[in-house]
Structure 1
Amino acid sequence: MSLACLAGPFLKRILLGGLCALLWPLSTQAADACHGSRDLVVVGHMDDDLLFMNPDLSSSIQAGACMQVLYLTASERKGGLEYMYRREQGVRSAYAFMAGRVNEWQQARLMVGSASITQFTLRSRPGIQLSHLRLQDPWLGPGWGSLTPLSRAESVPGQTVQTLDSPRQTLNREQLVQTLAALIRLYQPTSVRYLDDTNPVPYTQLCWRCTGHGHPDHIASARLVREAMLAAPGNYAQIGYVDYPIQEQARNLTLNEIHSKTEIFRRYAWHDQHACKGPAVCQEPAGPAAEWVQRSYYTSRADYPASLLSDSNGKLYFFASGEQNDAINQWDVHAQRWISLGGRTPEALSAFHYTDGSPGLFARDATGQVWFSRSPDENDWLAWQKIPGPRMLHTPMVSRRDSQAVAMGTDGLFYWSSARQPDYGWGAWTALPALEHAAYPATVSLDRQGRPHIFASNLQGQLFQTYQQSDLTWQDWQTIPAPPSSGGLASILNAQGHIELYLRDRQSQQLQRLIQGSQQSWTRPQNLGLQYVGTPALSLDEKDHVVVAVQKTPGGAIVLLDQGQEREVDKQSASAPALYRLNGTLYLATRPIGPEQRYRLLERRHGQWVQVALTQPPPPGGGQSFSEAPAFITQPYVQP
């Protein structure tokens, strides 16, 4: 029996291909041991994670998360097998340092999917595991501008890649994807972290330190992970990290974060003979690595909608997480300028009103913590504050009025919070009744009595609701009769005081509508005959009718459904739409197709849509740690 089979009593033992593998189970004991978070990290080389994914990795480890890291390549270039072993020692030293534990590891061999993987488990904290596929990693030509074995297997049909160590394995692209998908299913992560799959430069045209260029193994590893996630969907956050091109962007880490990231990388570099000769004479991080340890940027998918909102004086703004600065950004429609509000997030934002009409914002950082801010005065935003409680898988969904929010925690439960009076804070997350096999996200609306109702589905597509009762407890989840859905949930209180619920039919992928009647009854689902992706945007129009905006296909048309009439508003859009009504006027925002992050703001006048603004891209800088933001953020960034 392998060492893996002799591990501690709270580890899950799985027999795969005749070998015993270690993976964390979903039991309460394991969830407690992982503090509710299990990170799966996949990179090309040993040090990609340390240079491009920190400080998020160290923050998660310090918060008690479990972490499974898979290095795809042997990273042996310029040194062979012995160099590979030394680099593996280096990453073990770095992770032991991040965990604050003795650098002692237990080695095992396991089968996952089609591959045999070497795995090291930190003895004093077995939730931290480093795994190595050890794919050979030479250049297949003279160097940059050549393929590597991994990038060739990823991009050239019929090609394979071999491992460096014994037993020798030969894997093709499909087997690599299957292996990654099998790891996702077995480990059941709450976050999957990978490198940038969006780099448009062909592998054979990449060059060292050219503007915007990455490494072929980085890009290939990320594309394989993205495909594996499609094959193994689940309730986990997906976080991509920009690699080499971060050296071209503004420094966005604090001095404390830079110092921590530097010390972690040095623990690795002491073992890498091409980086330094040991602790006494090591100058690392130096060269480009010195730039990388000062920065951390997320891959943007450009499909997140903007969030429209007005202030208490009726002034319209919209908000977007920056594709270049990762910050929260506010566009002043009247002044035609951006204000960066700090923070560092890989996700969309949620905007809402407090009961006094002042605007507020939710953002989620890459470790799952939810932060909020409020604007008490025009262009003034208070420092970001964290909602206490568990970590969340996504930015909360929030009601437009009375500040009620819902999100799924890393434990698979839905949580609710509401704004407090009179301090404008948010209460700690409250767990809702358990919904077996729940799928995120949920949606929240208030009924005519002001009670929050929350709607969600499970992985089988069944639709459920719960609501807050008069004693402030939550009703057990109740089934809503509807065909199986594939998400796309949205809800709104109509002018007659009834909640309307919208969802995507799993079979036809078409928009369905249900309307709540008395005694929690619902109308039969009405098929609105419109296929769409993402989540519908909902608003009341100028005459208090519910209007729905959807995107038909990724990058495709934006279509408005108003009183049964379907109208195409935009032929192409990079993002889902956002709708908002202000002073009897309906507004719609979309992001045009193109490399620059611009937004179109349309206003409906006498039944016709008129463009009233086209933004400049958000500023290249302005992102920073949520926890070290200034008390007030007042300085605007004016586009040159």
Structure 2
Amino acid sequence: MEHDDLSGAEGDNDDAMKAARRVRVTRRGLIIGGLVAAVGLGGGALLARQLRRAGPPTGVWTPLRPIPAPASPAGVSPAAEAPGVNARATIWAHADDDIIFANPELSEAIGSGVVVRAVYVTAGDAGKGLEYAKDREAGIRAAYDLMRGSTAPWDERTLTLLSGARVTRFVPTDEPRLSITVLRLPDGGLNAKGFTATGNAGLTQLINGEVSELAPVDGAPSYDLPRLTATLAELLGAAQPDRVSTNVPHESAYARGDHPDHSCVGSLVRATAPVVGIPPEAVSYYLGYPSQDQPVNVTGPALDAKVDVYRTYAADDPVVRCADSATCLAQPGFGEWLRRTYPKTEPELRLS
């Protein structure tokens, strides 16, 4: 999910926090100490107000145009990767959507040796720039290290796709069955209006034709809507997945109150997956913010492991750092989401 900022003071724990950010844990896990909870820098007034009220974040729902399906990719993509049995492609709005909303299933897949190809569409930058986005990317790689039980380094490479997009891919040097690909498009914000630093535009404006293109925060070539849908179709085809996981689409009743970027990405995947031969029954759509309205279904050791993965990620995200499991679970919104996971099939989406 995208994190706006919340105000706080680091105090005497600053050195311990910096040290904790360098921790990379094994499957058994290490306690990440000396962190303060929920420290942020600067703006993000909407989320900050909600957190001061101790209430969970709520996204603004806005109408979204239907998304045209792209043409089928032609040729062998530079993003092509070796397929695997029960391979998964996971496409999310923000780095951490998967570990919050799609765990413990993700951990179970990674732990069992399944091929997992993750894609994060936005930078989750909250208008704070590339360095914050890279912090979040470092956090998600650390979380994957915990889930896979290795701290071997990740190889970073830049790929120019058939679509003309330039993306960044990370692959563990010891486990090519896993990869993380980032597009780094600008964050749309909880209000679907983007941030001043990135032109007050995000996926909502691109899909609705209010802007003709979006510029990634890393300076890569801009995306118009045809390039974005073609890129997602190309990455899905390159992964050759048996299953796809993503956010709930905008057309679903479960999108009401969710982050606008979540529902945009869900709709983009829903429109592009059939182009590369992925049938509707192979796609799982995970509830985001509205999962908090469902019964708790992650408890006991499964919850402990899920929170450890989240806390490992959060050590690199200055907005949501939490010193221990209890602090993580006390965070407004996050504590409720971590206790739940709700995948939906196409027939279960309650489509409008």
Q: Same fold (TM over 0.5)?
A: yes
User: What is the aligned-residue identity percentage?
Assistant: 26
Secondary structure class of the residue paired with 1:239: strand
Tell me if 1:260 matches 2:305: yes
- Over residues 241-271 of structure 1, what are the superposed CA-to-partner deviations in whole Å (9 max), with x where a residue is unaligned? 1100001110012312111111111110000
Q: How does 1:427-446 map to 2 (within 5 A)?
A: none
> Which residue of structure 1 aligns with residue 273 of structure 2?
229
Rounded to whole Å, the distance in 2 between the matches of 1:300 and 1:20 is: 29
Cα drift, residue 188 of structure 1: 0.8
Of structures 1 and 2, the one scoring higher in RCO (CA 8 A, sep 6+) is: 2
2:317 to 258, 269, 272: 272
Structure 1 residues 593-604: aligned runs within 5 Å: none
Q: Per the alignment, do residues 106 and 244 of structure 1 end up closer, same or farther by CA in structure 2, a change over 3 Å counting?
A: same
1:23 CA displacement: 3.5
Task: Decide which structure has greater strand share.
Answer: 1
Quote the offset at 1:201 in angstroms. 7.3
Compared CA separation, residues 256 and 248, structure 1 to 2 (3 A): same
2:119 to 70, 73, 97: 70
Shift of 1:103: 4.7
Query: Residue 346 of structure 2 aligns to which amino acid in structure 1?
Result: R
Q: How does 1:511-522 map to 2 (within 5 A)?
A: none
Matched to 2:328, the amino acid is E
Q: Contact 1:114–1:178 at 8 Å: present in 2 too? A: no
- Provide structure 2 residue ranges, at least 5 long, that are not aligned to the other structure: 1-72, 195-200
Residue of structure 1 equivalent to 2:20: none
Q: Are 2:191 and 1:144 aligned?
A: yes
| The structure with more radius of gyration | 1
Following superposition, the deviation at residue 281 of structure 1 comes to 11
User: Counterpart in 2 of 1:104?
Assistant: 153
Deviations 1:440-488 (A, max 9, x none): xxxxxxxxxxxxxxxxxxxxxxxxxxxxxxxxxxxxxxxxxxxxxxxxx
> Which of 156, 168, 181 in structure 2 is aligned with 1:118?
168
Relative distance call for 1:279 and 1:21 in structure 2 (3 A) is farther
Match of 2:244 in 1: 192
How far is the alpha carbon of 1:158 from its aligned partner?
A: 6.0
TM-score of the pair, normalised by structure 2: 0.70
Q: 1:60 to 1:261 in 2, by over 3 A?
A: same
What are the within-5 Å matches in structure 2 for residues 174-573 of structure 1?
A: 174-199=226-251, 212-234=256-278, 237-276=282-321, 283-285=327-329, 286-302=331-347, 323=348
Match of 1:503 in 2: none
Change (3 A) 1:292 1:199: farther
CA distance in 2, matches of 1:296, 1:281: 18
| Greater fraction helix | 2
Query: How has the CA–CA distance of structure 1 residues 46 and 234 changed in structure 2, closer, same or farther, with 3 Å as cutoff?
Result: closer
The one-letter amino acid of 1:135's match is: L
Corresponding letter in the other structure for 2:338: V
**Residue by residue, what CA displacement relative to the aligned partner does 1:530-551 show, whole Å, maximum 9, x if unpaired?**
xxxxxxxxxxxxxxxxxxxxxx
1:487-512 Cα offsets, whole Å, 9 max, x none, are xxxxxxxxxxxxxxxxxxxxxxxxxx
Equivalent residues of 2:192, 2:204 under 8 A apart: no
Partners of 2:320 and 2:211 in 1: how far apart? 36
Aligned CA-pair RMSD: 3.0
CA distance in 2, matches of 1:135, 1:282: 33
Whole-angstrom CA distance in 1 between matches of 2:323 and 2:289: 25
Task: Please say if residues 201 and 213 of structure 1, whose CA atoms lie closer than 8 Å, have aligned partners that are also in contact.
Answer: no
- Confirm or deny that 1:25 pairs with 2:77: no
